[in-house]
Structure 1
Amino acid sequence: MKYLLKAIFLGLVLPLSALAQSFVLSDIRVDGLQRVSAGTVFSALPIRVGDEVEPGEIQDATRVLFRTGFFEDIQIGHENSVLVITVRERPAISKIDISGNKAIATEDLLKAMKEYGLAEGQILKRSTLRGLTQEFERQYVAQGRYGASVKAELKELPRNQVELRVAVDEGVVAAIKHINVVGNRAFSDKELEEIFELKTTGWLSWLRSDDKYSSEKLTGDLERLKSYYLDRGYLDFQIDSAQVSLGPDKKSVFITINVVEGGVYTVSEVEIAGNPIVAEEEINRLLLVREGQRFSQARVTTTSDYIAKRLGNKGYAFAEVNGVPEANEEESTVKITFFIDPGKRTYVRRISFRGNTRTADEVLRRELRQMESALASSARIEQSKVRLERLGYLKVVKVETTKVSGTSGRPDVDYMVEGQPSDSGGAGR
Structure 2
Amino acid sequence: MKFTLISLLLALGAACAQADAFTVKDIRVDGLQRVSAGSVFGAFPINIGDKVDSSKLANASRNLFATGYFNDIELMRDGNILVINLVELPTITALEIEGNSAIETEQLKEGLKQAGLAEGYVFKRSTLERLELELERQYVSQGRYDAEINTEVKKLPRNRVSLKINVDEGSVASISHINIVGYENFEKQELLNQFELKPTNLWSWYASDDKYSREKLGGDLERLRSFYLDRGYIRFNAESTQVSLSPNKEEVFISVNVHEGDVYTVNKVNLAGELILEEELLRKLVIMDEGETFSRQKVTFTQDLIAKRLGNEGFTFASVNGVPKINDEDKTVELTFFIEPGKRTYVRRINFTGNESTMDEVLRREMVQMEGGWASTELIEQSKSRLEQLGFFKGVNVETPKVPGSDDLIDVNYSVEEQPSGSLNLSIGYSSADGMILGTSVSQNNFMGTGKKMSTSLNKTDAVASLNLSYTDPYYTVDGISRGYGLFYSQTDFSELSLSDYNTDTYGGRTTFGFPISGRERLSFSIEASRTLMEAQESGIAEEILGFIEDEGEDFVEVTLGSSWSWTTLNRGLFPTAGAKQSLSLEATVPGSELEYFRVTYNAQKYFPISGEWTFRLRTELGYGDGYGKTDELPFFRNFRAGGVGSVRGYTSNSLGPRGAIKRLLNT
Q: Distance in 1 between matches of 2:38 and 2:402?
A: 52
Deviations 1:149-180 (A, max 9, x none): 11221111111111111111111111111111
Q: Distance in 1 between matches of 2:143 and 2:135?
A: 13
The one-letter code matched in structure 2 to 1:206 is W
The one-letter code matched in structure 2 to 1:170 is E
Q: Are 1:210 and 2:209 counterparts?
A: yes
Give 1:39 shift.
Answer: 4.7
Contact 1:352 1:414 in 2 (8 A): yes
Partner of 2:445: 427
SS of corresponding position for 1:181: strand
Deviations 1:367-411 (A, max 9, x none): 221111113222222222222222222232333333223223222
SS of corresponding position for 1:402: coil
Deviations 1:41-99 (A, max 9, x none): 44544434454443333433433333332222233333444444433322111111111
Partner of 1:6: none
What percent of counterpart residues are identical?
55
**Counterparts in 2 of 1:368 and 1:78: CA distance versus 1, 3 Å:** closer
Q: Distance in 2 between matches of 1:97 and 1:287?
A: 59
Partner of 2:301: 302
Give 1:25 shift.
Answer: 4.1
Partner of 2:381: 382
Give 1:290 shift.
Answer: 0.5
Residues 89-100 of structure 1 mapped to structure 2, 5 A cutoff: 89-100=88-99
Q: Which has the higher helix share?
A: 1
Give 1:17 shift.
Answer: 4.8
Give 1:29 shift.
Answer: 4.3
Q: Distance in 2 between matches of 1:26 and 1:252?
A: 71
Contact 2:2 2:72 in 1 (8 A): no
Larger radius of gyration: 2
Partner of 2:570: none
Partner of 2:399: 400
Residues 182-331 of structure 1 mapped to structure 2, 5 A cutoff: 182-331=181-330
Contact 2:5 2:75 in 1 (8 A): no
Partner of 2:159: 160
**Counterparts in 2 of 1:84 and 1:336: CA distance versus 1, 3 Å:** closer
**Counterparts in 2 of 1:23 and 1:270: CA distance versus 1, 3 Å:** closer
Q: Distance in 2 between matches of 1:337 and 1:58?
A: 67
Partner of 1:11: 3
Larger mean Cα displacement after TM superposition, 309-318 or 366-375: 309-318
Higher relative contact order (CA 8 A, sep 6+): 1
Q: Are 1:128 and 2:120 counterparts?
A: no
SS of corresponding position for 2:400: strand
**Counterparts in 2 of 1:78 and 1:189: CA distance versus 1, 3 Å:** same
Deviations 1:407-428 (A, max 9, x none): 2322222223223334577525
Larger mean Cα displacement after TM superposition, 205-214 or 358-367: 358-367
Deviations 1:284-314 (A, max 9, x none): 3222101121111111111121122222222
The one-letter code matched in structure 1 to 2:233 is Y
SS of corresponding position for 1:411: strand
Larger mean Cα displacement after TM superposition, 73-82 or 291-300: 73-82
Partner of 2:16: none
Q: Distance in 2 between matches of 1:312 and 1:363?
A: 26
Q: Which has the higher strand share?
A: 2
Gaps in structure 2 of 5+ consecutive residues? 12-18, 424-442, 452-668
Give 1:16 shift.
Answer: 6.0
Partner of 2:637: none
**Counterparts in 2 of 1:376 and 1:182: CA distance versus 1, 3 Å:** same
The one-letter code matched in structure 2 to 1:11 is F
**Counterparts in 2 of 1:200 and 1:50: CA distance versus 1, 3 Å:** same
The one-letter code matched in structure 2 to 1:296 is S
The one-letter code matched in structure 2 to 1:427 is N
SS of corresponding position for 1:348: strand
Partner of 1:416: 415
Give 1:10 shift.
Answer: 4.4
SS of corresponding position for 1:427: strand
**Counterparts in 2 of 1:212 and 1:426: CA distance versus 1, 3 Å:** farther
The one-letter code matched in structure 1 to 2:55 is G
The one-letter code matched in structure 1 to 2:303 is S
**Counterparts in 2 of 1:82 and 1:418: CA distance versus 1, 3 Å:** closer
Q: Distance in 2 between matches of 1:46 and 1:382?
A: 61
Contact 1:325 1:336 in 2 (8 A): yes
Contact 1:393 1:426 in 2 (8 A): no
Q: Distance in 2 between matches of 1:25 and 1:397?
A: 69
Give 1:181 shift.
Answer: 1.4
Partner of 1:142: 141
Deviations 1:130-152 (A, max 9, x none): 11111221222222212111122
The one-letter code matched in structure 1 to 2:172 is V
SS of corresponding position for 1:202: coil
Deviations 1:209-249 (A, max 9, x none): 11111222112111111110010011111121222222222
Q: Distance in 1 between matches of 2:50 and 2:336?
A: 76
TM-score of the pair, normalised by structure 2: 0.59
Larger mean Cα displacement after TM superposition, 40-49 or 166-175: 40-49
Q: Are 1:344 and 2:336 counterparts?
A: no
Contact 1:113 1:119 in 2 (8 A): yes
Contact 1:16 1:55 in 2 (8 A): no
Give 1:263 shift.
Answer: 0.3
The one-letter code matched in structure 1 to 2:3 is G
Contact 2:266 2:332 in 1 (8 A): yes
Give 1:13 shift.
Answer: 5.0
Deviations 1:331-379 (A, max 9, x none): 1111111222222222221112232222221112222211111132222
Deviations 1:194-215 (A, max 9, x none): 1111111112111111111122
**Counterparts in 2 of 1:226 and 1:84: CA distance versus 1, 3 Å:** same
Contact 1:389 1:396 in 2 (8 A): yes
Q: Distance in 1 between matches of 2:227 and 2:69?
A: 57
Contact 1:90 1:124 in 2 (8 A): yes
Q: Distance in 2 between matches of 1:16 and 1:256?
A: 66
Partner of 1:56: 55
**Counterparts in 2 of 1:40 and 1:288: CA distance versus 1, 3 Å:** closer
Contact 2:245 2:253 in 1 (8 A): yes
The one-letter code matched in structure 1 to 2:76 is G
SS of corresponding position for 1:59: helix
SS of corresponding position for 1:264: coil
Give 1:315 shift.
Answer: 2.3
Q: Distance in 2 between matches of 1:168 and 1:36?
A: 33
Deviations 1:178-201 (A, max 9, x none): 111111111122111111111111
Q: Distance in 1 between matches of 2:252 and 2:198?
A: 11
Q: Distance in 2 between matches of 1:168 and 1:136?
A: 9
Contact 1:287 1:303 in 2 (8 A): yes
Partner of 1:333: 332
SS of corresponding position for 2:290: coil
Deviations 1:5-31 (A, max 9, x none): xxxx34375766599434444444444
**Counterparts in 2 of 1:15 and 1:259: CA distance versus 1, 3 Å:** farther
Q: Distance in 2 between matches of 1:414 and 1:42?
A: 51
Partner of 1:103: 102
Contact 1:351 1:413 in 2 (8 A): yes
Contact 2:32 2:87 in 1 (8 A): yes
Larger mean Cα displacement after TM superposition, 128-137 or 240-249: 240-249
Partner of 1:119: 118
Q: Distance in 2 between matches of 1:48 and 1:54?
A: 13
Q: Distance in 2 between matches of 1:409 and 1:123?
A: 50
Deviations 1:237-290 (A, max 9, x none): 112122222222222222222211110011111222223222233223222101
